[in-house]
A and B are shown apart, each in its own frame.
Chain A
Amino acid sequence: MNGFGPVDLLLWGVLPYAVLVVFVGGLVWRHRYDRFGWTTRSSELYESRLLRIGSPLFHVGLLFVIAGHVVGLLIPESWTRALGVSDSIYHVTALSLGLVAGVCTLAGIVLLIWRRRTKGPVFSATTKNDKLMYAVLVLALVTGLGMTAYFAGTEVVGGETQDYRHTVSPWFRSIWILNPDVSAMAAAEGPYKLHALMGLALFALFPFTRLVHAFSAPLGYLVRPYIVYRSRDPHPAGAGHAERTTRRGW
């Protein structure tokens, strides 16, 4: 790989760790001090007709987008090759599935934002925090989807595109072993860098917005008995609410 400059070092060697600290620290802080604010802040009570189309479209699309990122970033090329998946098959699948999921997600969020702007009560319930979050979320989606569409188009007409599995993915994996491969990311093309930066911004915002509800996906419900009994909480005098130990209700 080529060398890299100080800006690259800052963006791809330092920034990810700063974001990680903000992300984890923010979640811990929010969980300790603002459990009451930890909610979906649903607006379904105000308007449900558009929500019932937009929200599942967005959320389900997003789940596929996340799954795509996990596969693309975490699984090295050598592993898929070992499984007998040829590069071209991998790329066609990734790009087509990614395109469909991305379009669903984007369509969903466009519908939701339109609803949020035009339906009076929903708009009144929108905070500045929400607006910032929507802006970053949409930018992350648009850069990602635009990139996918552009690369898919290029591949269709037989052109050559840069393989993120040689640049972005090794860099992403190297972050987690505390040995960031800055040069790999520095060699990535502009759109990749832009999308990665938007992703980092989104993760930095995550703990401080309504996005935190993603971390309370209630998977435990599947294995819980229906009726929850709970004793009154032992609640030490003078302790703040955040200090209270909450117990399992089942």
Chain B
Amino acid sequence: MSEQTADAGGRPIGRVMAQVAMVMNLDKCIGCHTCSVTCKQAWTNRPGVEYAWFNNVETRPGQGYPRTYQDQEKWKGGWVRKPNGKLVPRAGGRLKRLATIFANPVMPSLQDYYEPWTYDYDTLINAPLGDDIPVATPRSALTGEPMKVEWSANWDDDLGGGPELARQDPIVQTLGDQVRFSFEETFMFYLPRICEHCLNPACVATCPSGALYKRSEDGIVLVDQDRCRGWRMCVTGCPYKKIYFNHKTGKAEKCTLCYPRVEVGMPTICSETCVGRLRYLGVILYDADRVEEAASVEDEHDLYESQLDVFLDPSDPAVRAAARRDGIPDRWVDSAARSPIYTLAKRFRVALPLHPEYRTMPMVWYIPPLSPVVDTLTSTGHDGESAPNLFGAIDTLRIPIEYLAELFTAGDTGPVRRVLRRLAAMRSYMREINLGRERDESIASDVGMTGDQIEEMYRLLALAKYDDRYVIPTAYGVDEADRGAIEEIGCDLDFEGGPGMGGAGQVPFGEASGQPQAATVENFHALQGRQTSDAQVPTGEGRVNLLNWDGNGRPDGLFPPNQSGSTEDHGGGDQPRTPREGGST
């Protein structure tokens, strides 16, 4: 706050904050649901959150999950701009929230998700001998009663249910006749969704208890399970319906962006296991003081640009200075400069936010799909990969550009068309190279890029190497370089019944016996140190015994004193004998 810092454009830089953000390349999604399943295994395989899919994959057009969640006239999620320019949660401001606290009037019921069920597997093995093969019938996971399975999270997957279900897609209802479902003309693509970890989160704004918060270090939006009182306002507040009410614990739960993984530099589990390798993770620096202003612009079509405008250029020395001023270590700024998110969203402008018109400033962005355009063009006798043909085809793509615009730009087709032209140009440009022809700069300049940029984009999108997709700095304040910001990171969710349950629980034997170990960066490094070292590494907690000894060195008290009195040692001779405080390596 000392001296005024200005960015390259001469604008003063407010409070710099860092956000771990995601981009998904929809052209590559094959709808395999691996992300959903691994996420479920990691986070929501507990009673009470059977119906919770922190990550789900929707077929578009389709109703989404929960059904028709995008219809904000009905579900009242996100923000609205009042005539005086102020933003208020669509479901009502503070007084209205408190006035309706005894029964949230617009909370989705379990029927809008689906009633979770299991099967009566017992019949399969215990049924008496008979003429009929025993069948495991479905039982409600809520009541245990037999139930008829009529809906689930992916009932309309791959356009299942046909036009009848797909027509209830709120976007299809907006577009009307422009979306066709006849077999020859229909289209579909997949939309994987997680929590958007918004810059202006409506769930946080509607939480009466203040239990939902945005982490200042990395922008991850979390629920403090100890402070949540189950008022359920966040479920309504979130326009993406990505907050789930755990009906067993009575607390809200949501996607955590796998923060225990992200803190140690690993990608989220949905990204890690993504078969199509379509997810990108990286840091975005943004000006927190400008978020509200950017989210309040009058015209919905300006929201995309205004959000881009909030992002700060990490290569700008003034931004680096301002980040340092606000306590963000240089290595995070360096990481932000290599961030694939910044590259795709701001430099190449091929990623777009999901439903910017909700005014929450979402931070999981999407590269819209280009449809099977090449084959279509080729089948009409044209060169399907020549740039002019591709550019011309963009407005007649199988996936109507208007549909994509309703998803990503509040209905403004301009930005979507520009993105698709860039993706098409990349195909043409790279084909010339693959065929051993001259690099054709004109293709690049037609879409406002240079050939080098196109090739960089190609490496990022088509080759998509692991280290290019995930540029995640480890949490700061945990090693000597930037100690001071944070001493230790605890896992808020790791307790009986909590989402982290079963993590580092109490086990009778081995390394983790005795006290439950907190899921912390220090413990992660300490464990790694102990497992990869040839010598004894001090643990710093309690004495070493036969059960928790890792076989290295000569811990105090484990062996009788050396008879000869010499201090010679068979393991690491220079290891200290007394456990040190701290214990991190």
Contacts and interface: CB of A to CB of B under 8 A. Distances in A.
Nearest to A220: B210
A58 B102 CA distance: 9
B491 to A, nearest CB: 9
B350 interface: no
Interface of A: 35-48, 51-52, 55-56, 58-60, 120-121, 123-125, 213, 216, 218-222, 224, 226-238, 241, 244, 246, 249-250
B143 A229 contact: no
B227 A227 contact: no
A227 B217 contact: no
Nearest to B494: A241
B8 interface: no
B489 interface: yes
B371 interface: no
Contacts of A222: 94-95, 98
B355 interface: no
B142 A46 contact: yes
Given A39-B230, A124-B144, 13 more contacts: A35-B226, A40-B250, A45-B245, A56-B103, A120-B142, A216-B229, A218-B210, A226-B205, A230-B224, A234-B487, A235-B490, A237-B541, A244-B490
A40 B229 contact: yes
Contact of B247 (A45, A51, A120, A216): A45
Contacts of A224: 210
User: Size band of the B side of the interface?
Assistant: 35 or more
Interface string B379-415: 0000000000000000000000000000000000000
A30 B270 CA distance: 37
B215 interface: yes
Contacts of B214: 227-230
Interface of B: 89, 94-95, 97-98, 101-105, 107, 109-110, 140, 142-145, 200-201, 204-205, 207-210, 212-217, 224-232, 245, 247-251, 475, 486-490, 492, 495-498, 515, 518, 520, 522, 541
Classify the secondary structure of A's interface with B: loop
Q: Which 10 A-B pairs have the closest CB atoms?
A: A235-B490, A218-B208, A226-B205, A41-B250, A39-B250, A39-B230, A230-B213, A35-B226, A121-B142, A120-B143
Given A41-B230, A235-B490, A228 B250 contact: no
B142 A42 contact: no
Contacts of B142: 46, 120-121, 124-125
Contacts of B518: 235, 237
A249 B216 CA distance: 10
B217 to A, nearest CB: 6
B110 A51 contact: no
Interface hub of B95, B210, B232 (most chain A Cβ within 10 A): B210
A237 B516 CA distance: 11
Interface hub of B102, B105, B214 (most chain A Cβ within 10 A): B102
B216 A36 contact: no
B345 to A, nearest CB: 22
B263 to A, nearest CB: 9
